[in-house]
Structure 1
Amino acid sequence: MTNWITNINASNAQEANDAVHLISRSLCMAAQEIGFQEINLVGFQYTDAYPDRRQNLVHALLDPVQPGDLVVVQFPLFTTDSFTETFFEQLFHRQGVQKVAVIRDIPSWMNAVDSDGYDAQTDWWLTLLRRFDLLIVANEQEAAQLRRDGVNVPMISLVICDYLYQGPWRKKQFRKELYYASGRDILGLDYHAATPLNVYSAVASDAVQANGSTRWLGFQPSDAILASLSGGFGIVTANNIRESHDEAFKYYTQFNDPTKLSFYWAAGLPVVTTSRTPHAQLIKDRHLGLVVDDLNDIDRILSDMSSADYQVMVAAVAPWQRAVTTGFFIKRALLAAIQTLNLGVKQQLVKS
């Protein structure tokens, strides 16, 4: 029996630094450490007009998979719809193979401003998810929404996605400073606090760049950013920052595991998030950062904080840093999936 996981490969250096490929790399590296083999995918953008070629490509990718094997799919495939359809058509046709989805994103949720923005009963993506033997979901909030949408498949909550990183790290000092790293275009900013806001993105509007409280640092490789962070707070979500696809993402952030959370914790940095995110209560209860709905309140909040208070947060983040940088959460979920599907061992992590 072989355990497989799909790997979503980048086609260029900048693409390798976006959230899709950073997390794919981390998931696959962690999975390999517990014996998984890879099914390597790329964009396959030029197969839409060639169905025979598409069928042959998918057949070649899945040909090593045998009855008794377990296949973990990073969902969605982040390729064309036609290639995705062909891939799942062949995968689900294979008998005696256990199929697991690690849900990275749910496109119908990402493109909706609320739950009325899609038809849960007929939605193609949700229909695909109903066909898996088990789902590894982002968190309990995502699991609950999937059940409300009629996806009644056993689920394991990942809690948080991993971000494998081996350093270097810089010692964290208390500084009244904010950091925001994004793979999307920063279009607008409602921020006038005195606390400096450092923004990493490939594109920022003229208004963002001209904001007197903001320093736009352009694009930098993710690991280079991690190595440079020596204090302050990393912003996971903020109502004051307007990005491309923003309205839909405001709805989606209620359910997903944002890469930024794992990213800042991999650096050992306390975070800032909004109250509607799945991790807000955890962050507040465990002193892992700040829950702030208006970034313009940050001056007042930080004025009451001492260096000792900040170091309490840094110490609280440390075990989460060790976990996400070593692949703890995905290894835990994958081993639970193997125990459940291949060995028939009841797992407390699995909820029907």
Structure 2
Amino acid sequence: MSKYILTIEDPKKNNAGPKAKEDILYFLEQENFERLPLKLDLDPEDASFKAKLHKLYLGKVYIPRVLKKIKAEMILLQYPIYSTYLTNVLIAAIRKYTNAKLYLVIHDIETLRLFKDDPEFVANELRIFNEVDGIIDHNEKMHAWLKAQGIKTPLVDLGLFDYHNPIKLAETYTFDRSVVFAGNLEKSKFLTKLAKADFQLKLFGPNPAANYPTNVQYLGVYSPEELPKYLTQNFGLVWDGTSLTECDGLFGEYTKYNDPHKASLYLSSGLPIIVWRQAALADFVETNNLGFAVESLTDVASRLETMRPEEYSTMKKNAVALAEKLRTGHFIKTAVAKLTDEKDRA
């Protein structure tokens, strides 16, 4: 079978989750997928006449020319790309110029994240989801939401994002109840209020605040490839928004449906995780004993204080076992296999 993954260059270099997308490419190339590179150098904010001509060229000339050169049976598109217009053009061109099955791997549903109050965008995004042959969503919660919106396309749950992590897993550890948080700190406003949570936190990431409480220690910023070597703590924290008592705001609410990539960063490093009890990941974490869920960050300190070393040891072993799966692309490889097997799709 001739299998391709569309790889699309974002001219602004701001597409969400480049590490997640590159890792899917890395793991699926091991399954004999080929990259199909498209240079769609279109600025969606440019409304000039020249930009409109270029848009026509991409849709009428460039994209058809690329697709006519391949004999594809399966094409995988990592969604979203930076332009809704180009997504629609790609789907139409794939249908016209190939006989390939077209599948989406969802990284983000923008209707849930940024455009829930834009009816035109919502309608277009849902229509896109119904025009493809199969979708890999994140988890049961996202799956149920898509079904509730009337999506008829077969769906397969990913479970977790895999994480290419070549840093050797630590074989020994000290149970000291330490916690780490890594991410874009500009949108993690809750961190400046963490004095009320009364537990120690190590912090990594770009755009730190000018000041943090004394129980928060900022340790700098590292690339996604380097960062795992510094994740030697007991737990990784997965939290979003401005509040200690809930994950709030657009990004906080979104955790009710998505699989945050930072969870895979921690788990691929062998760290159990702490999540919001209402997050989509909470059931997975607790069912597989990969950490614990809390209603509020003010509950973390007491949970850590009462944790027995043998309880943590079990969580740690489970996280290390899962890390081996994440490092080999287990979840994306399994999901793609299910997409091609009708009895496994829902």
Give the TM-score taking structure 1 as reference length: 0.85
Tell me the equivalent position of 2:3. Answer: 3
- 1:153: how far off? 0.9
| Structure 2 contact 88–128 (Cα < 8 Å) conserved | no
Against the structure 1 CA distance between its residues 315 and 58, is the aligned structure 2 distance closer, same or farther, given a 3 Å change threshold? same
1:103 equivalenced with 2:106 (yes/no):
yes
State the alpha-carbon separation in 2 of the partners of residues 132 and 23 from structure 1: 21
State the alpha-carbon separation in 2 of the partners of residues 41 and 95 from structure 1: 16
Amino acid at match of 1:204: P
Tell me the equivalent position of 1:138. Answer: 138
- 1:265: how far off? 0.6
- 1:129: how far off? 0.8
Against the structure 1 CA distance between its residues 267 and 60, is the aligned structure 2 distance closer, same or farther, given a 3 Å change threshold? farther
Tell me the equivalent position of 2:343. Answer: 347
Tell me the equivalent position of 1:182. Answer: 183
1:298-319 CA distance string (max 9 Å, x none): 2211111133221111011122
1:23-71 CA distance string (max 9 Å, x none): 11111111111110112246724475122442344234433333x6111
Against the structure 1 CA distance between its residues 71 and 58, is the aligned structure 2 distance closer, same or farther, given a 3 Å change threshold? same
- 1:118: how far off? 5.2
| Aligned ranges 1:80-119 → 2 under 5 Å | 80-111=83-114, 117=117, 119=119
Tell me the equivalent position of 1:279. Answer: 281
Tell me the equivalent position of 1:324. Answer: 326
Against the structure 1 CA distance between its residues 168 and 8, is the aligned structure 2 distance closer, same or farther, given a 3 Å change threshold? farther
State the alpha-carbon separation in 2 of the partners of residues 230 and 253 from structure 1: 25
| Structure 1 contact 176–195 (Cα < 8 Å) conserved | no
State the alpha-carbon separation in 2 of the partners of residues 74 and 252 from structure 1: 19
- 1:287: how far off? 1.6
- 1:173: how far off? 2.6
State the alpha-carbon separation in 1 of the partners of residues 87 and 328 from structure 2: 30
Tell me the equivalent position of 1:71. Answer: 75
Pick from 25, 32, 35 the counterpart of residue 38 of structure 1. Answer: 35
State the alpha-carbon separation in 2 of the partners of residues 119 and 172 from structure 1: 51
Tell me the equivalent position of 2:148. Answer: 148
Larger mean CA deviation between 119-128 and 266-275 belongs to: 119-128
Give the TM-score taking structure 2 as reference length: 0.86
Against the structure 1 CA distance between its residues 25 and 198, is the aligned structure 2 distance closer, same or farther, given a 3 Å change threshold? same
Tell me the equivalent position of 1:129. Answer: 129
Amino acid at match of 2:2: T
Tell me the equivalent position of 1:58. Answer: 63
Unaligned 5+ segments in structure 2 are none
Pick from 221, 224, 238 the counterpart of residue 222 of structure 1. Answer: 224
1:165 equivalenced with 2:165 (yes/no):
yes
- 1:8: how far off? 4.9
1:99-120 CA distance string (max 9 Å, x none): 111111111111157xxx4549
| Structure 1 contact 234–272 (Cα < 8 Å) conserved | yes
Amino acid at match of 1:98: K
Amino acid at match of 1:187: K
Against the structure 1 CA distance between its residues 108 and 286, is the aligned structure 2 distance closer, same or farther, given a 3 Å change threshold? same
User: Of Structure 1 and Structure 2, which has the larger fraction of its residues in strand?
Assistant: 1
Tell me the matched-pair count.
332
Unaligned 5+ segments in structure 1 are 341-345
| Structure 1 contact 169–226 (Cα < 8 Å) conserved | no
Tell me the equivalent position of 1:24. Answer: 21
Q: CA RMSD in A?
A: 2.7
| Structure 2 contact 241–248 (Cα < 8 Å) conserved | no
